[in-house]
Structure 1
Amino acid sequence: MNNKYTQIEIKILKAAKNIFLKKGMGGARMQDIANQAEINKSLIHYYFKNKQTLYEIIFNQVFSIVAPKINRIINDDSSIENIIRNFTVSYFSFRQRHPHLSTFVIHELNENPGFFEKLKTHAEFPNIDKFKAQVDKEIQQGILIPLDAEQLFINIISLNIFPFIAEPFIRGLTNCDQRTYKALLNSRKTEVADFIINSIKRK
């Protein structure tokens, strides 16, 4: 936590993060945060004015964890195959360490598109220009089949994220208990990458 905050502010922010990750902006109440921090609600208003102020601080903190990892992988000086494999392994490992963060970011961006415009000025906001250039280069070299780089990026994101955000739905369809589903997700670290790479590489 940033050392510009006092101890009481850090306590409030930690409580707010827990509540926002569980309930999102719409479902969270200042009283929930006060209860979690074990302080009076008026004290939160004294330090942070309102829920929106708290939310934007927390969202930026969470985004600053998620975004740099995406940026480092997709802007790596490597082949598209390596980028796909690194993204898949890194994303699944990240989800195991931070199970709620990426889902929170995706949900909140969809709920608050206006706030998304603010984030686009963030220094760590992901940029896929280098990724697109590498895709075009490998198409010209005959490594990849002709394809749209943006569609490929959407496929990479979707195939990695969907099994986590749709876990209850998929477990219901596949009749998986939690332990079996966890093993299924672990196998997808290589399964997803193999599937995408086999579909785009020139035979």
Structure 2
Amino acid sequence: MDTEKSTEQKILEAAKKVFVAKGMAGARMQDIADEAGINKALLHYYFRSKEKLFEVIFTETVGRFIPRVNEIFSSDMIWSEKIETFASEYIDKVLENPFLPLFVMNEMHKQPEEFLKKMWGGEKPQIETFLRQVKKAVEDKEIRPIHPAHLIMNVMSLCIFPFIGKPMLQMIASINDQQFFQLMEERKVMVPQFIIQSLKL
């Protein structure tokens, strides 16, 4: 049993690397078998197809976080707390799964409609409550006017880009992996502070 779990985990880790490098469409079962150091027959014993393997990885990573995103933005928290909570939990999730942003971006560009349908279960993110809160904050002159799309882009880009641009950032700033991850820990606080401060009148 332990051996089976070890082999299955080895396959999942190998598949993550191959999917990041080649995308869902470009990845082959042979590539994954080679990366895992096993033969293709053994790979098929554990996972019948590339699609099945993708679904398992997707469920273990993105699939677990999506319900939490909906929970955060539809909760009773005030709008600023939602930004703080999302930024902190998103960065935590990516620190645990560094392949995630590039993996999602690759698939969105290769098969946007199909991938987004899998990602959100055919529904849009539940952010209506958050958007109403932001609109009311603007109307009450609590914050300066801002298009909701700009606010969403600001939050997403400040959280996601450092992971996408990690090699370039490390070269420019002359930082190693440990220093990079420490900076990302700091960004869990800095990102929402920066966004919220930028909205103040």
TM norm structure 1:
0.78
- Assess if the C-alpha contact under 8 Å between 1:30 and 1:41 holds in 2: yes
- Assess if the C-alpha contact under 8 Å between 1:156 and 1:196 holds in 2: yes
- Assess if the C-alpha contact under 8 Å between 1:88 and 1:160 holds in 2: yes
Equivalent-residue separation in structure 1 for 2:43 and 2:36 (angstroms): 10
- Assess if the C-alpha contact under 8 Å between 2:18 and 2:31 holds in 1: no
Q: Which residue does 2:17 correspond to in 1? A: 22
- Assess if the C-alpha contact under 8 Å between 1:66 and 1:102 holds in 2: no
Letter of the 2:51 counterpart: Q
SS in 1 for 2:13: helix
The alpha carbon displacement at 1:163 in A equals 0.7
The alpha carbon displacement at 1:28 in A equals 3.3
Q: Which residue does 1:140 correspond to in 2? A: 139
SS in 2 for 1:66: helix
Aligned residues: 197
SS in 1 for 2:61: helix
**Structure 1 residues 27 and 20: alpha-carbon distance in aligned structure 2, compared to 1, 3 A threshold:** farther
The alpha carbon displacement at 1:84 in A equals 1.2
Q: Which residue does 1:3 correspond to in 2? A: none
Q: Which residue does 2:185 correspond to in 1? A: 186
The alpha carbon displacement at 1:15 in A equals 4.7
**Structure 1 residues 127 and 49: alpha-carbon distance in aligned structure 2, compared to 1, 3 A threshold:** same
**Structure 1 residues 29 and 13: alpha-carbon distance in aligned structure 2, compared to 1, 3 A threshold:** farther
**Percent identity at matched positions?**
34
**Structure 1 residues 140 and 92: alpha-carbon distance in aligned structure 2, compared to 1, 3 A threshold:** same
Instruction: Say whether residues 1:51 and 2:46 are aligned partners.
Output: no
- Assess if the C-alpha contact under 8 Å between 1:68 and 1:126 holds in 2: no
Instruction: Say whether residues 1:110 and 2:105 are aligned partners.
Output: no
Deviations 1:131-161 (A, max 9, x none): 2111111111221111111210111011011
Equivalent-residue separation in structure 2 for 1:48 and 1:89 (angstroms): 34
- Assess if the C-alpha contact under 8 Å between 2:117 and 2:123 holds in 1: no
Q: CA RMSD in A?
A: 3.2
Q: Which residue does 1:151 correspond to in 2? A: 150
Equivalent-residue separation in structure 2 for 1:163 and 1:37 (angstroms): 28
Deviations 1:15-39 (A, max 9, x none): 5532332121255331243456676
TM norm structure 2:
0.79
Unmatched tracts of structure 1, length 5 or more: 1-6
Higher relative contact order (CA 8 A, sep 6+): 2
Letter of the 1:17 counterpart: L
Letter of the 1:20 counterpart: A
Deviations 1:67-109 (A, max 9, x none): 1222222222122211111112212222233332344223322
